[in-house]
Amino acid sequence: MSMNPTPYKPAKRTRGDILHEQMVLRGEIVENKEPVSHKKFIIISSIIMALLIAVVVVSFVRVDAVESAALQGLELPKDAAYASIYMVGKVAGIVIGAGYLFFALIHVLAPKRRKPNRSFWGDLGIYLMLAIVAVAMAFPLVFSIASSLKPLDELFRFPPKVFPQHVTLDNFSDLFVTLSQSYVPFSRYLVNTVFITFVGTFGHLFIASMAAFVLAKYDFPGGKTFFSIVVTALMFSGYVTGIPNYVIMSKLKMIDTYWAVILPAFAAPIGLFLMKQFMEGLPDALIEAAHLDGASEMRIFWSIVMPNVKPAWLTIIIFSVQSLWNTNAATVIYSESKKTLVYALQQIQAGGVARAGQAAAVTVIVMLVPITIFVLSQSNILETMASSGLKD
């Protein structure tokens, strides 16, 4: 009885396997890297943790000394001017110490795996640098949120503390009470801002995408000159173009309307620039094949081009929402019923010392929406950029 042999099927090679083989050939990865001995690692870790603990202890002592002298009305120590530096050092020491401890546990407990061709000191230096950068970038955000939860007496305490001793939500409740007593309801400011942000972002994305498609995939007289003008326009900030925008909107009889903010947002050059650069990376063969299959230009644009430039239009959405959400539009909108939320909040911030707590709450509310959109979108951007590459 004859048996048919099972046909050979090669193992499926993933993108990660291909990248790993290329890195091995270039010498960027060593399969059998000599690990650092546990004894040496423990000695180095002990020294680093001792230094971080010393920084935290000294910072605690000096901050408490300056604060005690300020509360008792005594003469401030000579290093009182460095109180804010001590405060940052205290937070940085705790965060970096916790991060290094986490790295040490990973290094000791994690199973052996393929590692880049770097020494232990290279890994340590990279993690410490990333920890320092992370502290520097996260500190303003953490301090703003913590300040919004402080009572009024803690907001003016010197030296300032990062975290509140008595957490309270009075700043937010007072803010909403103030807004409810205004001539225009709070909901009206919010609706105005949401409408301007949504329509401005959608129009900017739609117009920039269609213009970039033509510039990237079709040759026509004046195309390169037009794109050079767009690149030149990137050098001018909104303050420089404010007067020309006002003159144009005035000629169009659109002053004191939503369109005085929305139409200039349609023409922002950053969107056209990003979309054009991304679309140039798409293979022309893909579009030519769609033409041969009888697809129309609009079908090619929506079904082929736009899905493959997802990182670009997600980035444009982040930039556009951040810009439109944070605009007060005070120079082109005069009617109180058409004002934006940021304008109303800025008027509360200008209330002086009595509204310092509400001003801290305003800061958190204004930055909440752009940060939330960025956090929700960044995973999609990274995933798309890693998996949507196309080559001829």
Query: What string of DSSP letters covers 57-100?
Result: HHHHHHHHHHHHHHHHTPPPPGGGGGHHHHHHHHHHHHHHHHHH
* In-domain check, residue 29: no
* In-domain check, residue 274: yes
Residue whose entry in the numeric block shows the structure tokens 């800061």: 363
Residues 162 and 216 in one domain: no
Residues 162 and 181 in one domain: no
DSSP for 267-321, written as a single string: T-HHHHHHHHHHHTTS-HHHHHHHHHTT--HHHHIIIIIHHHTHHHHHHHHHHHH
With beta carbons less than 8 A apart as the criterion, state whether 368 and 302 touch: no
Residues 261 and 378 in one domain: yes
How far apart, in whole angstroms, are the C-alpha atoms of residue 56 and residue 59?
5
- pLDDT at residue 339, rounded to an integer: 85
How far apart, in whole angstroms, are the C-alpha atoms of residue 109 and residue 124?
16
How far apart, in whole angstroms, are the C-alpha atoms of residue 373 and residue 359?
23
- Which residue, of 167, 189, 220, is where some domain finishes? 167
* In-domain check, residue 10: no
How far apart, in whole angstroms, are the C-alpha atoms of residue 300 and residue 287?
7
* In-domain check, residue 241: yes
- pLDDT at residue 268, rounded to an integer: 85
- Domain residues for the domain of 62 are 36-167
Residues 159 and 192 in one domain: no
* In-domain check, residue 48: yes
CATH assignment at residue 344: 1.10.3720.10
* In-domain check, residue 12: no
What residues of the chain score a pLDDT lower than 70?
1-41, 63, 66-67, 70-84, 86-87, 99-100, 102-121, 351-352, 377-392
How far apart, in whole angstroms, are the C-alpha atoms of residue 226 and residue 162?
50
Find the Cα–Cα–Cα–Cα dihedral 273, 279, 284, 287, rounded to 10°: -120
Residues 139 and 65 in one domain: yes
Residues 193 and 293 in one domain: yes
Q: How many residues in the chain?
A: 392
How far apart, in whole angstroms, are the C-alpha atoms of residue 110 and residue 248?
63
Exposure string of 39-78, with b = 16+ CB inside 10 Å and e = fewer, is: eebeeebeebeeebeebbeebbebbebbbeeeeeeeeeee
What is the tally of structural domains in the chain?
2
- Which residue, of 113, 148, 167, is where some domain finishes? 167
Spatial CA neighbour of 186 closest among 376, 375, 365, 30: 365
* In-domain check, residue 379: yes
List the structure tokens of 30. 């060593």
Cis, bond preceding 264 (omega within 30 deg of 0): no
For residue 313, the number of C-alpha atoms closer than 13 Å in the C-beta half-sphere is: 20
- pLDDT at residue 331, rounded to an integer: 84
For residue 295, the number of C-alpha atoms closer than 13 Å in the C-beta half-sphere is: 17
Residues 99 and 201 in one domain: no
Cβ neighbours around 127 below 10 Å, total: 18
With beta carbons less than 8 A apart as the criterion, state whether 115 and 29 touch: yes
DSSP for 344-366, written as a single string: HHHHHHTT-GGGHHHHHHHHHHH
- pLDDT at residue 388, rounded to an integer: 42
- Which residue, of 167, 191, 209, is where some domain finishes? 167
* In-domain check, residue 16: no
Between vectors from CA 211 to CA 244 and to CA 372, what angle results, nearest 5°? 80
If phi over 0 gives left and psi between -120 and 50 gives alpha, with beta otherwise, what is residue 216? alpha
- Letter for the amino acid at 18? I
- pLDDT at residue 254, rounded to an integer: 87
Residues 163 and 179 in one domain: no
Residues 61 and 157 in one domain: yes
Residues 214 and 162 in one domain: no
